[in-house]
Amino acid sequence: MGQKWKLYEVQDGKVKRKNKFCPRCGPGVFMAEHKDRWSCGRCGYTEWKRK
């Protein structure tokens, strides 16, 4: 599981997280962004995006 640096960016000297955290697993477990949903690879939690 490399490339975690892609999940963060620095703005005005502060670190900003790009993706959401999983509400079930808690902070530190990012959710993957897909075209139509957000999903957690650890527990399988899914949030559907609304159009």
- Show binding-site residues for Zn(2+): 22, 25, 40, 43
pLDDT tens column, 1-51: 577 788 789 999 999 988 899 999 998 898 999 999 999 999 999 999 987
Domain residue limits at 8: 4-48
Predicted local distance difference test score (pLDDT) of residue 22: 95
Q: Which residues are annotated as a binding site?
A: 22, 25, 40, 43
Burial 21-36 (b: 16+ CB within 10 A, else e): ebeeeeeebbbeeeee
Q: How many domains does the chain have?
A: 1
pTM of the model: 0.68
